[in-house]
Structure 1
Amino acid sequence: MTGDAGEAARPWLFCFHHAGAGVSCFAPWQNVLGDAAEVVPVLLPGRETRVREARITDPEQLLVELDELIGPLLDRPYLLYGHSLGGLVAYTFARHRERLGERGPSLVSVGAVQPPHLRSPVVRGVDLPDLDLLRLLVSYDTLPPEAAHGGHVWERRVLPALRDDLRLAEALCEIEHSPLRAPLLALASAEDPIAPLAGMAEWADYAPGGFELRTVTGSHFFVRGKAAPLALREAALDLRYARSDGLRPELSAL
Protein backbone atom coordinates (compact mmCIF):
# COMPACT_ATOMS: atom_id res chain seq x y z
CA MET A 1 0.00 0.00 0.00
CA THR A 2 1.56 3.23 -1.14
CA GLY A 3 -1.01 5.68 0.20
CA ASP A 4 -1.18 7.67 -3.06
CA ALA A 5 -4.43 8.85 -4.67
CA GLY A 6 -4.61 5.90 -7.06
CA GLU A 7 -4.20 3.44 -4.19
CA ALA A 8 -6.87 5.19 -2.14
CA ALA A 9 -9.35 4.84 -5.02
CA ARG A 10 -8.77 1.10 -5.25
CA PRO A 11 -11.20 -0.82 -3.04
CA TRP A 12 -10.27 -3.65 -0.74
CA LEU A 13 -11.44 -7.13 -1.64
CA PHE A 14 -11.59 -9.16 1.57
CA CYS A 15 -11.64 -12.91 0.87
CA PHE A 16 -12.88 -15.60 3.25
CA HIS A 17 -11.80 -19.21 2.80
CA HIS A 18 -13.80 -22.45 2.71
CA ALA A 19 -14.10 -25.02 5.50
CA GLY A 20 -10.96 -26.86 6.53
CA ALA A 21 -8.80 -24.53 4.47
CA GLY A 22 -6.57 -21.50 4.74
CA VAL A 23 -5.96 -18.57 2.44
CA SER A 24 -3.50 -20.15 -0.01
CA CYS A 25 -6.26 -20.48 -2.63
CA PHE A 26 -6.32 -16.68 -2.88
CA ALA A 27 -2.57 -16.32 -3.49
CA PRO A 28 -2.90 -15.90 -7.30
CA TRP A 29 -5.87 -13.54 -7.13
CA GLN A 30 -4.01 -10.22 -7.08
CA ASN A 31 -2.41 -11.02 -10.42
CA VAL A 32 -5.89 -11.52 -11.87
CA LEU A 33 -7.54 -8.54 -10.13
CA GLY A 34 -4.73 -6.17 -11.08
CA ASP A 35 -5.60 -2.60 -10.13
CA ALA A 36 -9.35 -3.31 -9.89
CA ALA A 37 -9.12 -4.10 -6.16
CA GLU A 38 -6.56 -4.90 -3.50
CA VAL A 39 -6.95 -8.53 -2.43
CA VAL A 40 -6.84 -9.14 1.32
CA PRO A 41 -7.21 -12.82 2.31
CA VAL A 42 -8.63 -13.13 5.82
CA LEU A 43 -7.12 -16.03 7.76
CA LEU A 44 -9.26 -17.36 10.59
CA PRO A 45 -7.63 -18.95 13.67
CA GLY A 46 -6.59 -22.60 13.69
CA ARG A 47 -4.84 -22.93 10.33
CA GLU A 48 -1.63 -22.02 8.47
CA THR A 49 0.25 -19.33 10.44
CA ARG A 50 -2.50 -19.33 13.10
CA VAL A 51 -2.59 -23.10 13.55
CA ARG A 52 -1.92 -22.95 17.30
CA GLU A 53 -4.92 -20.71 17.95
CA ALA A 54 -8.32 -22.14 18.87
CA ARG A 55 -10.73 -22.40 15.96
CA ILE A 56 -13.89 -20.29 16.06
CA THR A 57 -17.28 -21.99 16.09
CA ASP A 58 -19.34 -19.19 17.67
CA PRO A 59 -20.73 -16.42 15.40
CA GLU A 60 -20.38 -13.68 18.01
CA GLN A 61 -16.74 -14.57 18.55
CA LEU A 62 -16.29 -14.56 14.77
CA LEU A 63 -17.66 -11.04 14.46
CA VAL A 64 -15.42 -9.78 17.25
CA GLU A 65 -12.45 -11.38 15.48
CA LEU A 66 -13.34 -9.80 12.13
CA ASP A 67 -13.94 -6.37 13.66
CA GLU A 68 -10.45 -6.54 15.14
CA LEU A 69 -8.80 -7.93 12.01
CA ILE A 70 -10.29 -5.79 9.29
CA GLY A 71 -12.47 -3.19 11.02
CA PRO A 72 -9.69 -0.55 11.02
CA LEU A 73 -9.36 -0.91 7.23
CA LEU A 74 -13.00 -0.21 6.42
CA ASP A 75 -12.60 3.54 5.94
CA ARG A 76 -12.54 3.19 2.16
CA PRO A 77 -14.78 1.24 -0.26
CA TYR A 78 -14.54 -2.51 0.05
CA LEU A 79 -15.95 -5.72 -1.39
CA LEU A 80 -16.37 -9.10 0.26
CA TYR A 81 -15.95 -12.54 -1.31
CA GLY A 82 -16.48 -15.77 0.56
CA HIS A 83 -16.22 -19.32 -0.74
CA SER A 84 -18.46 -22.04 0.73
CA LEU A 85 -18.20 -21.48 4.51
CA GLY A 86 -16.56 -18.17 3.63
CA GLY A 87 -19.71 -17.07 1.81
CA LEU A 88 -21.71 -17.36 5.02
CA VAL A 89 -18.95 -15.46 6.82
CA ALA A 90 -19.02 -12.67 4.23
CA TYR A 91 -22.81 -12.37 4.31
CA THR A 92 -22.97 -12.37 8.13
CA PHE A 93 -20.18 -9.81 8.45
CA ALA A 94 -21.85 -7.53 5.89
CA ARG A 95 -25.14 -7.64 7.81
CA HIS A 96 -23.24 -6.98 11.03
CA ARG A 97 -21.68 -3.82 9.61
CA GLU A 98 -24.97 -2.65 8.14
CA ARG A 99 -26.81 -3.27 11.39
CA LEU A 100 -24.26 -1.20 13.30
CA GLY A 101 -24.75 1.67 10.88
CA GLU A 102 -21.10 1.45 9.83
CA ARG A 103 -19.79 1.59 6.27
CA GLY A 104 -21.04 -1.55 4.54
CA PRO A 105 -19.51 -3.30 1.56
CA SER A 106 -20.07 -2.04 -1.97
CA LEU A 107 -20.66 -5.65 -2.98
CA VAL A 108 -21.02 -9.02 -1.29
CA SER A 109 -20.06 -12.00 -3.43
CA VAL A 110 -20.62 -15.59 -2.38
CA GLY A 111 -19.36 -18.69 -4.12
CA ALA A 112 -20.38 -22.35 -3.82
CA VAL A 113 -22.69 -21.87 -0.85
CA GLN A 114 -26.46 -21.88 -0.61
CA PRO A 115 -28.24 -19.21 1.47
CA PRO A 116 -28.72 -19.85 5.19
CA HIS A 117 -32.22 -21.30 4.94
CA LEU A 118 -30.86 -24.02 2.62
CA ARG A 119 -27.96 -25.36 4.64
CA SER A 120 -25.96 -27.88 2.63
CA PRO A 121 -26.09 -31.66 3.16
CA VAL A 122 -22.50 -31.47 4.37
CA VAL A 123 -23.41 -28.96 7.08
CA ARG A 124 -26.41 -31.08 8.07
CA GLY A 125 -24.02 -33.99 8.66
CA VAL A 126 -21.81 -32.13 11.14
CA ASP A 127 -22.73 -34.38 14.10
CA LEU A 128 -22.22 -37.70 12.32
CA PRO A 129 -19.63 -40.13 13.73
CA ASP A 130 -16.14 -39.59 12.30
CA LEU A 131 -16.19 -42.34 9.69
CA ASP A 132 -19.71 -41.49 8.55
CA LEU A 133 -18.81 -37.82 8.17
CA LEU A 134 -15.67 -38.69 6.22
CA ARG A 135 -17.72 -40.86 3.88
CA LEU A 136 -20.25 -38.08 3.43
CA LEU A 137 -17.49 -35.61 2.55
CA VAL A 138 -16.02 -38.09 0.06
CA SER A 139 -19.45 -38.61 -1.53
CA TYR A 140 -19.60 -34.88 -2.27
CA ASP A 141 -16.03 -34.80 -3.62
CA THR A 142 -14.72 -32.58 -0.85
CA LEU A 143 -12.17 -35.20 0.21
CA PRO A 144 -10.31 -37.81 -1.86
CA PRO A 145 -11.70 -41.40 -1.96
CA GLU A 146 -9.07 -42.79 0.45
CA ALA A 147 -10.52 -40.64 3.26
CA ALA A 148 -13.61 -42.88 3.31
CA HIS A 149 -11.53 -45.59 5.02
CA GLY A 150 -10.60 -43.31 7.91
CA GLY A 151 -7.25 -43.62 9.64
CA HIS A 152 -5.10 -41.37 11.81
CA VAL A 153 -4.45 -38.64 9.24
CA TRP A 154 -8.09 -38.20 8.28
CA GLU A 155 -9.70 -38.72 11.70
CA ARG A 156 -7.15 -36.92 13.86
CA ARG A 157 -5.61 -34.26 11.63
CA VAL A 158 -8.10 -33.36 8.87
CA LEU A 159 -11.54 -33.98 10.32
CA PRO A 160 -11.36 -31.92 13.55
CA ALA A 161 -10.76 -28.68 11.64
CA LEU A 162 -13.42 -29.54 9.08
CA ARG A 163 -15.96 -30.41 11.77
CA ASP A 164 -15.32 -27.15 13.65
CA ASP A 165 -15.75 -25.16 10.46
CA LEU A 166 -18.98 -27.02 9.70
CA ARG A 167 -20.18 -26.17 13.21
CA LEU A 168 -19.46 -22.52 12.49
CA ALA A 169 -21.37 -22.77 9.19
CA GLU A 170 -24.33 -24.38 10.98
CA ALA A 171 -24.36 -21.62 13.59
CA LEU A 172 -24.17 -18.90 10.93
CA CYS A 173 -27.15 -20.45 9.15
CA GLU A 174 -29.14 -20.19 12.37
CA ILE A 175 -28.49 -16.57 13.32
CA GLU A 176 -28.93 -14.53 10.14
CA HIS A 177 -31.65 -14.64 7.49
CA SER A 178 -32.23 -10.93 6.84
CA PRO A 179 -31.72 -9.07 3.53
CA LEU A 180 -28.61 -7.11 2.67
CA ARG A 181 -28.55 -3.46 1.72
CA ALA A 182 -25.52 -4.17 -0.47
CA PRO A 183 -25.92 -5.85 -3.86
CA LEU A 184 -24.97 -9.51 -4.06
CA LEU A 185 -23.14 -11.51 -6.71
CA ALA A 186 -23.47 -15.29 -6.45
CA LEU A 187 -20.96 -17.49 -8.25
CA ALA A 188 -21.92 -21.10 -8.88
CA SER A 189 -20.80 -24.13 -10.84
CA ALA A 190 -23.27 -26.43 -12.57
CA GLU A 191 -20.95 -29.27 -11.49
CA ASP A 192 -21.15 -28.47 -7.78
CA PRO A 193 -23.28 -31.04 -5.89
CA ILE A 194 -23.12 -29.10 -2.62
CA ALA A 195 -24.43 -25.77 -3.90
CA PRO A 196 -26.61 -26.46 -6.98
CA LEU A 197 -27.71 -23.61 -9.22
CA ALA A 198 -31.33 -23.73 -8.06
CA GLY A 199 -30.24 -23.24 -4.46
CA MET A 200 -27.76 -20.51 -5.33
CA ALA A 201 -30.52 -18.61 -7.13
CA GLU A 202 -32.37 -18.24 -3.82
CA TRP A 203 -29.76 -15.72 -2.66
CA ALA A 204 -31.91 -13.29 -4.65
CA ASP A 205 -34.29 -13.16 -1.67
CA TYR A 206 -31.44 -11.75 0.43
CA ALA A 207 -30.45 -9.02 -2.01
CA PRO A 208 -33.22 -6.49 -2.77
CA GLY A 209 -30.45 -3.99 -3.58
CA GLY A 210 -29.38 -5.98 -6.64
CA PHE A 211 -28.60 -9.59 -7.46
CA GLU A 212 -26.80 -11.58 -10.12
CA LEU A 213 -26.18 -15.31 -10.36
CA ARG A 214 -23.21 -16.12 -12.55
CA THR A 215 -22.16 -19.63 -13.50
CA VAL A 216 -18.47 -20.45 -13.66
CA THR A 217 -16.49 -23.49 -14.71
CA GLY A 218 -15.14 -26.02 -12.25
CA SER A 219 -16.38 -28.05 -9.32
CA HIS A 220 -17.13 -27.00 -5.73
CA PHE A 221 -13.55 -25.74 -5.44
CA PHE A 222 -13.60 -23.41 -8.44
CA VAL A 223 -12.02 -20.85 -6.10
CA ARG A 224 -8.69 -22.42 -7.10
CA GLY A 225 -9.12 -21.37 -10.74
CA LYS A 226 -9.38 -18.02 -12.52
CA ALA A 227 -13.14 -17.82 -13.06
CA ALA A 228 -13.97 -16.36 -9.63
CA PRO A 229 -11.27 -13.65 -9.55
CA LEU A 230 -12.11 -12.69 -13.13
CA ALA A 231 -15.75 -12.22 -12.15
CA LEU A 232 -14.71 -10.14 -9.14
CA ARG A 233 -12.42 -8.01 -11.30
CA GLU A 234 -15.28 -7.22 -13.65
CA ALA A 235 -17.60 -6.42 -10.76
CA ALA A 236 -15.04 -4.17 -9.04
CA LEU A 237 -14.40 -2.21 -12.23
CA ASP A 238 -18.12 -1.79 -12.91
CA LEU A 239 -18.64 -0.44 -9.40
CA ARG A 240 -15.70 1.93 -9.78
CA TYR A 241 -17.03 3.32 -13.06
CA ALA A 242 -20.50 3.72 -11.54
CA ARG A 243 -19.05 5.76 -8.68
CA SER A 244 -16.95 7.91 -10.99
CA ASP A 245 -20.04 8.64 -13.10
CA GLY A 246 -22.02 9.61 -10.02
CA LEU A 247 -24.39 6.67 -10.46
CA ARG A 248 -25.77 4.35 -7.84
CA PRO A 249 -23.75 1.12 -8.24
CA GLU A 250 -26.61 -1.30 -8.92
CA LEU A 251 -25.59 -4.89 -9.46
CA SER A 252 -27.80 -5.03 -12.53
CA ALA A 253 -25.01 -3.10 -14.24
CA LEU A 254 -22.55 -5.94 -13.70
Structure 2
Amino acid sequence: MRLFVFHHAGGSPAAYFGWRRQLAGETEVVPVRLPGRGQDGRSPRYHDMATLIEALAEDLGPDLEGPHAFYGHSMGALAAYRLTRLRARRGERLPDRLMVGAFAAPHLFHGFHHTRRSDEELKDWLLAMSATPTALAALIDDSDRLSSTILARLRADLGLCAGVRETEPASPPLACPVHVFAGTEDPLVPVADAARWSLYSDAPTTLHEIPGGHFFPRESKAIFFRTLRSALRPVCNC
Protein backbone atom coordinates (compact mmCIF):
# COMPACT_ATOMS: atom_id res chain seq x y z
CA MET A 1 0.00 0.00 0.00
CA ARG A 2 1.45 3.36 -1.04
CA LEU A 3 0.36 6.62 0.57
CA PHE A 4 1.11 9.65 -1.60
CA VAL A 5 1.29 12.78 0.57
CA PHE A 6 0.90 16.35 -0.69
CA HIS A 7 2.34 19.21 1.36
CA HIS A 8 0.76 22.46 2.54
CA ALA A 9 1.40 25.90 1.03
CA GLY A 10 4.96 27.00 1.67
CA GLY A 11 5.97 23.44 2.53
CA SER A 12 7.99 20.75 0.81
CA PRO A 13 8.14 16.94 0.71
CA ALA A 14 10.40 17.14 3.77
CA ALA A 15 7.28 17.86 5.85
CA TYR A 16 6.43 14.16 5.54
CA PHE A 17 9.77 12.50 6.12
CA GLY A 18 8.79 11.69 9.74
CA TRP A 19 5.68 9.88 8.48
CA ARG A 20 7.84 7.05 7.15
CA ARG A 21 8.91 6.23 10.68
CA GLN A 22 5.37 6.57 12.05
CA LEU A 23 3.90 4.19 9.45
CA ALA A 24 6.89 1.87 9.03
CA GLY A 25 5.88 -1.70 8.30
CA GLU A 26 2.33 -0.70 7.42
CA THR A 27 2.37 1.73 4.54
CA GLU A 28 4.95 3.07 2.09
CA VAL A 29 4.86 6.86 2.40
CA VAL A 30 5.63 8.70 -0.84
CA PRO A 31 6.12 12.48 -0.38
CA VAL A 32 5.10 14.24 -3.58
CA ARG A 33 7.33 16.92 -5.07
CA LEU A 34 5.23 19.37 -7.05
CA PRO A 35 6.17 19.78 -10.72
CA GLY A 36 8.36 22.78 -11.43
CA ARG A 37 9.89 22.82 -7.97
CA GLY A 38 13.39 21.38 -7.75
CA GLN A 39 15.25 20.45 -4.61
CA ASP A 40 16.85 23.89 -4.57
CA GLY A 41 13.41 25.52 -4.32
CA ARG A 42 14.32 27.88 -7.16
CA SER A 43 13.01 25.97 -10.19
CA PRO A 44 10.43 27.67 -12.42
CA ARG A 45 6.93 27.17 -11.05
CA TYR A 46 3.50 26.70 -12.46
CA HIS A 47 1.23 29.68 -11.99
CA ASP A 48 -2.19 28.03 -12.15
CA MET A 49 -3.52 24.93 -10.44
CA ALA A 50 -4.99 23.28 -13.54
CA THR A 51 -1.67 23.26 -15.43
CA LEU A 52 0.18 22.04 -12.35
CA ILE A 53 -2.25 19.13 -11.87
CA GLU A 54 -1.91 18.11 -15.51
CA ALA A 55 1.87 17.96 -15.06
CA LEU A 56 1.47 16.13 -11.74
CA ALA A 57 -0.75 13.52 -13.40
CA GLU A 58 1.96 12.86 -15.97
CA ASP A 59 4.67 12.62 -13.30
CA LEU A 60 2.78 10.23 -11.03
CA GLY A 61 0.71 8.32 -13.57
CA PRO A 62 2.87 5.16 -13.78
CA ASP A 63 2.99 4.92 -9.96
CA LEU A 64 -0.78 5.03 -9.49
CA GLU A 65 -1.75 1.73 -11.10
CA GLY A 66 -1.46 -0.32 -7.89
CA PRO A 67 -3.20 0.09 -4.51
CA HIS A 68 -2.64 3.60 -3.20
CA ALA A 69 -4.15 6.41 -1.15
CA PHE A 70 -3.74 10.19 -1.16
CA TYR A 71 -3.33 12.47 1.85
CA GLY A 72 -3.12 16.21 1.25
CA HIS A 73 -2.84 18.93 3.88
CA SER A 74 -4.25 22.41 3.26
CA MET A 75 -3.10 23.32 -0.27
CA GLY A 76 -2.04 19.69 -0.59
CA ALA A 77 -5.65 18.62 -0.04
CA LEU A 78 -6.69 20.77 -2.98
CA ALA A 79 -3.94 19.25 -5.14
CA ALA A 80 -4.84 15.68 -4.13
CA TYR A 81 -8.53 16.32 -4.84
CA ARG A 82 -7.87 17.96 -8.21
CA LEU A 83 -5.60 15.07 -9.23
CA THR A 84 -8.28 12.56 -8.22
CA ARG A 85 -10.89 14.49 -10.16
CA LEU A 86 -8.69 14.59 -13.28
CA ARG A 87 -8.03 10.86 -13.12
CA ALA A 88 -11.78 10.22 -12.70
CA ARG A 89 -12.49 12.22 -15.87
CA ARG A 90 -9.91 10.16 -17.73
CA GLY A 91 -11.33 6.86 -16.49
CA GLU A 92 -8.11 6.03 -14.63
CA ARG A 93 -7.69 4.25 -11.32
CA LEU A 94 -8.69 6.35 -8.31
CA PRO A 95 -7.04 6.24 -4.88
CA ASP A 96 -8.45 3.63 -2.52
CA ARG A 97 -8.84 6.52 -0.09
CA LEU A 98 -8.79 10.27 -0.71
CA MET A 99 -7.76 11.85 2.58
CA VAL A 100 -7.88 15.61 2.97
CA GLY A 101 -6.73 17.64 5.96
CA ALA A 102 -7.20 21.28 7.00
CA PHE A 103 -9.19 22.24 3.92
CA ALA A 104 -12.81 23.24 3.46
CA ALA A 105 -15.00 21.56 0.87
CA PRO A 106 -13.81 23.12 -2.42
CA HIS A 107 -17.01 25.07 -3.12
CA LEU A 108 -16.57 26.78 0.28
CA PHE A 109 -12.94 27.70 -0.39
CA HIS A 110 -12.58 31.30 -1.52
CA GLY A 111 -8.85 31.51 -2.01
CA PHE A 112 -6.07 32.88 0.14
CA HIS A 113 -5.70 36.64 -0.01
CA HIS A 114 -2.35 37.17 1.68
CA THR A 115 0.09 37.35 -1.22
CA ARG A 116 0.49 41.12 -1.04
CA ARG A 117 1.21 41.30 2.66
CA SER A 118 4.69 42.06 3.98
CA ASP A 119 6.86 39.18 5.17
CA GLU A 120 6.15 40.05 8.80
CA GLU A 121 2.38 40.18 8.20
CA LEU A 122 2.53 36.89 6.30
CA LYS A 123 4.51 35.28 9.09
CA ASP A 124 2.06 36.53 11.73
CA TRP A 125 -0.82 35.10 9.68
CA LEU A 126 0.95 31.75 9.42
CA LEU A 127 1.59 31.62 13.15
CA ALA A 128 -2.07 32.41 13.86
CA MET A 129 -2.99 29.17 12.09
CA SER A 130 -1.21 27.08 14.72
CA ALA A 131 -2.32 26.09 18.21
CA THR A 132 1.40 25.94 19.11
CA PRO A 133 2.81 29.10 17.46
CA THR A 134 6.03 29.11 19.52
CA ALA A 135 7.24 25.84 17.97
CA LEU A 136 6.30 27.00 14.48
CA ALA A 137 8.01 30.36 14.98
CA ALA A 138 11.21 28.58 15.98
CA LEU A 139 11.09 26.60 12.74
CA ILE A 140 10.53 29.67 10.58
CA ASP A 141 13.16 31.75 12.38
CA ASP A 142 15.83 29.06 12.25
CA SER A 143 17.83 31.44 10.05
CA ASP A 144 17.16 34.56 8.01
CA ARG A 145 17.82 32.63 4.81
CA LEU A 146 15.42 29.82 5.77
CA SER A 147 12.77 32.31 6.85
CA SER A 148 13.05 34.16 3.54
CA THR A 149 12.85 30.91 1.56
CA ILE A 150 9.79 29.64 3.45
CA LEU A 151 7.90 32.93 3.11
CA ALA A 152 8.71 33.25 -0.61
CA ARG A 153 7.50 29.70 -1.18
CA LEU A 154 4.39 30.37 0.89
CA ARG A 155 3.58 33.51 -1.07
CA ALA A 156 3.92 31.69 -4.40
CA ASP A 157 1.76 28.77 -3.25
CA LEU A 158 -0.97 31.04 -1.89
CA GLY A 159 -1.02 32.77 -5.25
CA LEU A 160 -1.40 29.38 -6.92
CA CYS A 161 -4.48 28.64 -4.81
CA ALA A 162 -5.99 32.10 -5.17
CA GLY A 163 -7.17 31.45 -8.72
CA VAL A 164 -9.15 28.31 -7.80
CA ARG A 165 -12.91 28.80 -7.83
CA GLU A 166 -15.67 26.20 -7.45
CA THR A 167 -19.19 27.48 -6.83
CA GLU A 168 -20.81 24.09 -6.21
CA PRO A 169 -19.76 20.46 -5.71
CA ALA A 170 -18.40 19.01 -8.94
CA SER A 171 -20.51 16.43 -10.76
CA PRO A 172 -20.47 13.50 -10.95
CA PRO A 173 -19.32 12.73 -7.40
CA LEU A 174 -16.17 10.71 -6.95
CA ALA A 175 -16.45 6.95 -6.53
CA CYS A 176 -13.76 6.60 -3.84
CA PRO A 177 -14.17 6.94 -0.06
CA VAL A 178 -13.12 10.26 1.43
CA HIS A 179 -11.59 10.79 4.88
CA VAL A 180 -11.63 14.38 6.14
CA PHE A 181 -9.31 15.54 8.94
CA ALA A 182 -10.16 18.83 10.63
CA GLY A 183 -8.48 20.70 13.49
CA THR A 184 -10.95 21.58 16.21
CA GLU A 185 -9.20 24.93 16.76
CA ASP A 186 -8.35 25.71 13.14
CA PRO A 187 -9.22 29.41 12.58
CA LEU A 188 -9.00 29.00 8.81
CA VAL A 189 -11.17 25.90 8.30
CA PRO A 190 -14.27 25.48 10.50
CA VAL A 191 -15.16 21.86 11.13
CA ALA A 192 -18.58 22.46 9.56
CA ASP A 193 -16.92 23.57 6.29
CA ALA A 194 -14.66 20.52 6.29
CA ALA A 195 -17.68 18.25 6.84
CA ARG A 196 -19.17 19.39 3.53
CA TRP A 197 -16.67 17.18 1.71
CA SER A 198 -19.47 14.59 2.06
CA LEU A 199 -21.00 16.15 -1.07
CA TYR A 200 -18.01 15.13 -3.19
CA SER A 201 -18.25 11.35 -3.17
CA ASP A 202 -20.87 8.65 -3.62
CA ALA A 203 -18.74 6.44 -1.38
CA PRO A 204 -18.68 6.88 2.42
CA THR A 205 -17.15 10.09 3.77
CA THR A 206 -15.70 10.06 7.28
CA LEU A 207 -14.97 13.20 9.30
CA HIS A 208 -12.16 13.03 11.86
CA GLU A 209 -11.90 15.93 14.33
CA ILE A 210 -8.34 16.29 15.63
CA PRO A 211 -7.39 18.57 18.55
CA GLY A 212 -5.31 21.52 17.35
CA GLY A 213 -5.08 24.31 14.84
CA HIS A 214 -4.27 24.28 11.14
CA PHE A 215 -1.19 22.11 11.69
CA PHE A 216 -2.82 19.47 13.88
CA PRO A 217 -0.66 16.54 12.63
CA ARG A 218 2.26 18.20 14.38
CA GLU A 219 0.26 19.45 17.38
CA SER A 220 -1.62 16.21 18.17
CA LYS A 221 0.76 13.69 16.68
CA ALA A 222 -0.32 10.59 18.65
CA ILE A 223 -4.04 11.15 18.06
CA PHE A 224 -3.55 12.03 14.40
CA PHE A 225 -1.44 8.99 13.49
CA ARG A 226 -3.71 6.64 15.42
CA THR A 227 -6.64 8.02 13.41
CA LEU A 228 -4.70 7.88 10.14
CA ARG A 229 -3.75 4.23 10.70
CA SER A 230 -7.37 3.41 11.36
CA ALA A 231 -8.41 5.15 8.14
CA LEU A 232 -5.81 3.21 6.15
CA ARG A 233 -6.36 -0.20 7.75
CA PRO A 234 -9.33 -1.34 5.63
CA VAL A 235 -7.24 -0.54 2.56
CA CYS A 236 -3.92 -2.14 3.47
CA ASN A 237 -5.23 -4.94 5.73
CA CYS A 238 -2.50 -4.12 8.24
TM-score range, shorter chain: 0.7 to 0.9
What secondary structure is seen at the aligned counterpart in 1 of 2:39? helix
Q: Which amino acid aligns with 1:126?
A: H
Question: Identity over the aligned pairs, expressed in percent?
Answer: 36
Cα distance in 2 between the residues matched to 1:102 and 1:58: 23
The answer to whether residue 227 in structure 2 is matched with residue 237 in structure 1 is: no
Cα distance in 2 between the residues matched to 1:19 and 1:88: 10
Return the TM-score normalized by structure 2.
0.81
Cα distance in 1 between the residues matched to 2:63 and 2:51: 19
Q: Highest Rg: 1 or 2?
A: 1
Aligned residue in 2 for 1:161? 153
* Pairwise CA distance, 1:222: 2.0
Cα distance in 2 between the residues matched to 1:161 and 1:155: 10
Q: Is the 8 A contact 1:32 1:230 kept in 2?
A: no
* Pairwise CA distance, 1:89: 0.6
Cα distance in 2 between the residues matched to 1:83 and 1:74: 19
* Pairwise CA distance, 1:229: 3.5
Aligned residue in 2 for 1:188? 182
The answer to whether residue 198 in structure 2 is matched with residue 198 in structure 1 is: no
What secondary structure is seen at the aligned counterpart in 2 of 1:49? coil
Residues 50, 156 of structure 1: alpha-carbon distance in 2 compared, 3 angstrom cutoff: closer
Aligned length: 225
Cα distance in 2 between the residues matched to 1:133 and 1:95: 31
Cα distance in 2 between the residues matched to 1:78 and 1:174: 26
Aligned residue in 2 for 1:125? 113
- Residue segments in structure 1 that go unaligned for 5+ positions in a row: 1-10, 242-254
Return the TM-score normalized by structure 1.
0.76
* Pairwise CA distance, 1:196: 1.8
Cα distance in 2 between the residues matched to 1:190 and 1:216: 6
Cα distance in 1 between the residues matched to 2:203 and 2:15: 29
Cα distance in 1 between the residues matched to 2:14 and 2:149: 18
- Residue segments in structure 2 that go unaligned for 5+ positions in a row: none
1:174-205 Cα offsets, whole Å, 9 max, x none, are 49941322110001111211112111111111
Q: Which residue, out of 53, 71, 78, partners 2:68?
A: 78
1:113-135 Cα offsets, whole Å, 9 max, x none, are 11212226xx4323544365455
Cα distance in 2 between the residues matched to 1:103 and 1:128: 39
Q: Is the 8 A contact 1:130 1:159 kept in 2?
A: no
